[in-house]
A and B are shown apart, each in its own frame.
Chain A
Amino acid sequence: MNSLYDKVKKNLIWKSVFRRDYKDTVRNRAQAIFGNVFLHLHPVRVRESAVKLRFTWGMGGITLLSFIILTVTGIVLMFYYHPTVDLAFLDIKDLEYQVPYGVISRNLHRWAAHFMVIVVMIHMFRVFMTGSYKFPRQFNWGVGVILLVLTFLLSFTGYLLPWDQLGFWAITVGTNMGAATPLLGYQGPFSEYLHITPYNDIRFALLGGARVGGNALLRSYIWHCVALPLITIILMSVHFWRVRKDGGISRPQP
């Protein structure tokens, strides 16, 4: 028995993965943090008062949880989804009726998305009310604001993907609002000075055309599944890193 134990544990492979033993020493504990890329972003130590639910509401963590759920279910959904005009809606129907665990995947994705938007806003509200946006955390507040916008954009681009009437008209209305952007939208003020027309304005860039169609669906898909999540992950890393660097999560005055 001991020889088997040795065989499994006393080799290079095991040791390169599990670099320490489990002895409860200060050094081991510290190394567990240093050696783990995920915990690296996490503050080295967390004060007891900081984990009080009453103060933080845990909203930041829950937002991260939502994001993870969304990533996992989103990848599952991508296996069954074609971002084309002919197939998009039918693929959604198939997810609903035929794909194994399609219903739970789609519904988890949808509800987690709604949940994330709400939770992000509550998180921001809490940060504001506890004054956690003040020095030294003013930079992280800025990063957080950008992350809020990214969350909204993820939500917006995902709305078109089922290619149903609801999404179609929501995107039509949303991008028409874009058309009224000052300078960049063809209906916006001052746009004439930049020679902006319906065919070169911000709405055109969003839709890949002058109206919602196949290109808009493809652009939404790529923003939603590739570009926006990448940017979000990068900024989230910065966000967490700043929490650590700015003295850990904010907590009530002692």
Chain B
Amino acid sequence: MANENPHSSNYRAYLFAALSITLLALSAWVIWNDEFGLRPWKHYQKEYKSLKHDKLEKDYQQALQDFRRSGGARRLAMLEAQLAKAEEAFKQKGVHDRYVELNAQLDDLHAKMATNQKELQMTRGQFLETEYYFTKTQKPEYKKKMDELQRQIDTIDGKGKALLVKEEPIRQAIYKLTGGMTEIRAEIEAIRKSLEERKEKIANNDKAPIEIKQYLIKDTDKADRCVSCHAGIESNVQVSKKEPYTKHPLGFVYLGHHDPTKFGCTFCHRGQGRATTTIEKAHGNVKHWEEPMLKGNMTQTSCLNCHGDIKNLRGAEKIANDTELIRKYGCYSCHKIPGYEGMGDVGPELTNVGTKVNYSWAVRWLMDPKKYFSTARMPKFFFTKDQAEAIADYLFSMSGTTRHDVDYATATPNEQLVEQGKMLWSQARCNLCHMTNGKGGNHIKVYAPDLSKAGSKVNKTWLFNWIKDPNKYFPGTRMPRFRFTDQEINALVEYIVSEYQDDEAESAYTTPVQISAASIKKGKDLIQQYGCYGCHKIQGMEMVQVAPSLKSQGVTFLRSDEMREKIGTELSSIGSKPVDLLDFGKLKKSIPNDRLSYIKQKLRDPRGFRLGLRMPNFGLSEKEVNELAAVLYGFTDSNVPVRFLVPSRQELEKMAGVPGYKFTGDFAKVISDVKCTNCHTIKGIGADYAPDLSLAGSKLQESWIRSFLANPDVIRPLLQQMPKLGLTMGPKPAKITMPKFNLGVQKVEDTNRSDVDVVVNYFQQELVTPDIPKDLPVIADIVMPEQIAMGKKLYDQKGCVACHQIGADGGAVGPNLSNVGNRLRAGFIFKHLENSRKFKPDIVEPNYGFTERERIFLTNYLMTLKLTAK
């Protein structure tokens, strides 16, 4: 063969050629992949551009069609012809000179009018000043001066009107001279512009470059490139409903308040803002990226990063609602959670529970509270009967030595007392907070115990003492002290005990049985192990748990509550805890190994991960699990820049060194008894189920306060109050009003003032604002009946009747005004009509822009609306 020489072997040439071609192909692929394969956003941007182009084009065509259909072209041609004619006419000799002359006249006139206007304002000012002195001093010299000034005002005003009359003829002369040239030009311009602007928009869209877009956030390591694909996210117009071309849902709330160029995307949505190569990477749904993207309502968890107070935050409704669960189940009792320090105990004090409940009930309850009441908040600890008995033994041993039950089911109730009790029950509106047999009970937020089976649970003597003075047994309880007489309390007790019996109640210890010391010891150990003292105050237990670090130094007892370590894990940064630190235990293989799945599983089945876990099962529904997990996921130690933080009102006050508002004097005593703040807000303290009373003194008349406290009745139609209360009242809602606390019956401790006097006095001294005048300004020149008539006319003209009810007529949105003359102070109505949002920012009432005089008329009219007492 000729190819003996190995250097010229064909075989090697082919191999070499093949390798070269492969290398070339590979290089080509690398270039293609880098240009397009790794940059899918180019495709999305192109697609978005073409979608936007289509939409703009459609708009343009529509506008064009409208233009043609409405004869726009003809109109334009006509205008142009008119303009040409006018321009021709304007060129004639002398016209231009005349035009200049007329314009000079007009300028001169305007200057005169301006001077006149200034003079008028000055004189009016003087008049008002004099009027003020007059109303204050009533001296006749002021009256005289007022008359003098009024005359001056009339003359100046007359001059002004005379000048105004001159203006129109000059304008008409100019118009005639120019043939309306200016106006025609403006119209032509407007017609052309409306179409050209649309065209320009299309051109701009087509010109926009395809490029990577990102939000670089100052002082952080954020470079959010989400907008490279989500090109229309900032737009006000929905170009397409398909992802990623949509606009941001509720953009005016979220992006409107958080300029994306300053906040970016990932502070709220998490995900991997820098990634652009695939959807999975960008959304953070890849291994080793621990912050997958938050979508939809779940994103609201991020509000917790910056906002200290999300209660009334627009756009954070879901998470605000979810956080309520933390309060409901008292997570902070066992776990340290920032913002929930010093919240008070979730459960009642147990030190003297032996004097309160039946032993059999206690054991049953301890074993499975949810089985007893499906609405129970106490979780299940999976105690065996022995364990439950041991705990009950320990608790009962603190106030006695025996296991004992009382059985009222067999006793015959006193019918007369029961009848009286039933009446008192409804008068005091016990059902407002307490649920019975599935009715009533604002258990969504107040969490008062269900009383359906109370008769088989508690002891009569205890119940009597409890109603008489709840603070005595449980300091800090939310139960108000109603001012019942002892006889009334007896009746109420008789009613509760006989009416609300439990059919399944056991009473194994009607004859008391001695408690053994071994059992007490066992019970104490169990209480310490499971941390019952987290939710319940148990005497002797406040000081047992000590931080491990201190234990190692030999410290075993500390008195201070702050030093007590919570039994559970700290939750302040659970939402950003590295996944490696979460103990999946034996579920490592059966559930997804991410943070959210862990949190949800922990809430569903707290002890399922491995043996030896102590967290009890709250029996949460899947909905509650999701809601609670959303909140917990929001507790992060994310490094949000300080400039983003929006502290809550309390935090702000703390930072400014302003002490929070505190009730003082005898009123504080009344508040601690009647618990007004369970429903009302006063100076930022309390709940928002009932009206804010912070300015009640300026708003309400004394006599009305007195009669309302004596016999509360609805002010506002039921419609508006119902959803806020969240009551479940069955098919026929009863009238919801304030409970009758029987104020005024008793004197406040250590004083001889009655409750109502104290309340009224405090309202008038403390809950007032200088912004609201005590009395109305007086209008001297119109007699009162006429003012009232004018007020009534205004009331009818402005359509107040659409929302407010007087007598039997009117709408049900605003408060009923039938008795407003007895209820509100005139000064308040007067100010309220000026700017209703000043005292209540979220009010629906429109602002009508009344003049001062109109407001006085209206107020005077409203003050005549009085119902005579029956």
Known A103-B38, A104-B30: A98·B221 in contact at CB below 8 Å: no
Bound Cα distance from A73 to B50, whole angstroms: 38
Q: A151-189 interface mask toward B, CB cutoff 8 Å, 1 = contact, 0 = none?
A: 000000000000000000000000000000000000000
Bound Cα distance from A100 to B36, whole angstroms: 11
* B-side contacts of A96, CB under 8 Å: 275, 277
Contact-residue bracket for chain B: 10 to 19
Q: Which of B30, B221, B276, B277 contacts A90 (CB 8 A)?
A: B221
Q: Of all chain A residues, which has the CB nearest B214?
A: A98
* B-side contacts of A100, CB under 8 Å: 34
| A97 with B34: CB separation less than 8 A | no
| A97 with B274: CB separation less than 8 A | yes
* A-side contacts of B212, CB under 8 Å: 98
Q: Specify the main secondary structure of chain B where it touches its partner.
A: loop
Q: Of all chain B residues, which has the CB nearest A100?
A: B34
| B275 with A97: CB separation less than 8 A | yes
Q: Of all chain B residues, which has the CB nearest A101?
A: B34
Q: B590-618 interface mask toward A, CB cutoff 8 Å, 1 = contact, 0 = none?
A: 00000000000000000000000000000
Bound Cα distance from A94 to B276, whole angstroms: 10
| B38 with A94: CB separation less than 8 A | no
Known A86-B221, A98-B212: A93·B274 in contact at CB below 8 Å: yes
Bound Cα distance from A97 to B223, whole angstroms: 12
Q: Of all chain B residues, which has the CB nearest A166?
A: B288
| A93 with B34: CB separation less than 8 A | no
Return B291 CB to nearest CB of chain A, in Å.
Answer: 13
Bound Cα distance from A94 to B222, whole angstroms: 12
* B-side contacts of A90, CB under 8 Å: 221, 223, 274
| B34 with A98: CB separation less than 8 A | no
Q: Specify the main secondary structure of chain A where it touches its partner.
A: helix
Bound Cα distance from A90 to B275, whole angstroms: 10
Q: Of all chain A residues, which has the CB nearest B37?
A: A103
| A98 with B30: CB separation less than 8 A | no
* A-side contacts of B30, CB under 8 Å: 101, 104
Bound Cα distance from A97 to B363, whole angstroms: 62
Bound Cα distance from A98 to B212, whole angstroms: 9
Bound Cα distance from A104 to B31, whole angstroms: 10
Q: Which of B38, B223, B275 has the most CB of A within 10 A?
A: B38
* B-side contacts of A93, CB under 8 Å: 274-275
Q: A89-109 interface mask toward B, CB cutoff 8 Å, 1 = contact, 0 = none?
A: 010011011101101100000
Return B461 CB to nearest CB of chain A, in Å.
Answer: 65
* B-side contacts of A101, CB under 8 Å: 30, 34
* A:56-100 near B, CB below 8 Å: 86-87, 90, 93-94, 96-98, 100
Return B221 CB to nearest CB of chain A, in Å.
Answer: 6
Q: Of all chain B residues, which has the CB nearest A103?
A: B38
Bound Cα distance from A201 to B212, whole angstroms: 48
Return A104 CB to nearest CB of chain B, in Å.
Answer: 5
Bound Cα distance from A101 to B34, whole angstroms: 6
* A-side contacts of B275, CB under 8 Å: 93, 96-97
* A:2-29 near B, CB below 8 Å: none
Q: B18-41 interface mask toward A, CB cutoff 8 Å, 1 = contact, 0 = none?
A: 000000000000100010001000
Q: B261-276 interface mask toward A, CB cutoff 8 Å, 1 = contact, 0 = none?
A: 0000000000000111
* A-side contacts of B221, CB under 8 Å: 86-87, 90
Bound Cα distance from A86 to B276, whole angstroms: 21
Bound Cα distance from A143 to B275, whole angstroms: 45
Bound Cα distance from A97 to B34, whole angstroms: 10
* B-side contacts of A97, CB under 8 Å: 38, 225, 274-277, 281
Q: Which of A86, A87, A94, A104 contacts B274 (CB 8 A)?
A: A94
Bound Cα distance from A74 to B221, whole angstroms: 24
Bound Cα distance from A90 to B221, whole angstroms: 8
Bound Cα distance from A161 to B221, whole angstroms: 18
Return A29 CB to nearest CB of chain B, in Å.
Answer: 16
* B:207-230 near A, CB below 8 Å: 212, 221, 223, 225
Q: Which of A86, A87, A93 has the most CB of B within 10 A?
A: A93
Bound Cα distance from A86 to B219, whole angstroms: 11
Bound Cα distance from A100 to B212, whole angstroms: 12
* A-side contacts of B276, CB under 8 Å: 97-98
* B-side contacts of A94, CB under 8 Å: 223, 274
Bound Cα distance from A206 to B462, whole angstroms: 74
* B-side contacts of A103, CB under 8 Å: 34, 38
Bound Cα distance from A88 to B30, whole angstroms: 25
Bound Cα distance from A103 to B277, whole angstroms: 11
Q: Of all chain A residues, which has the CB nearest B27?
A: A104
* B-side contacts of A98, CB under 8 Å: 212, 225, 274, 276
Q: Of all chain A residues, which has the CB nearest B272?
A: A93
Bound Cα distance from A143 to B225, whole angstroms: 50
Q: Of all chain B residues, which has the CB nearest A164?
A: B288
Bound Cα distance from A90 to B276, whole angstroms: 14
* A-side contacts of B223, CB under 8 Å: 90, 94
Bound Cα distance from A94 to B224, whole angstroms: 12
18 contacts between A and B (CB under 8 A): A86-B221, A87-B221, A90-B223, A90-B274, A93-B275, A94-B223, A94-B274, A96-B275, A97-B38, A97-B274, A97-B275, A97-B276, A98-B225, A98-B274, A98-B276, A101-B30, A103-B34, A104-B30
Q: Identify the 4 closest CB pairs spanning chains A and B, nearest first.
A: A93-B274, A97-B276, A97-B275, A104-B30
Interface, chain A (partner B; CB < 8 A): 86-87, 90, 93-94, 96-98, 100-101, 103-104
Besides the known contacts A103-B34, A104-B34, 11 further A-B residue pairs in the complex with CB atoms under 8 A apart? A87-B221, A90-B221, A97-B225, A97-B276, A97-B281, A98-B212, A98-B225, A98-B274, A98-B276, A101-B34, A103-B38
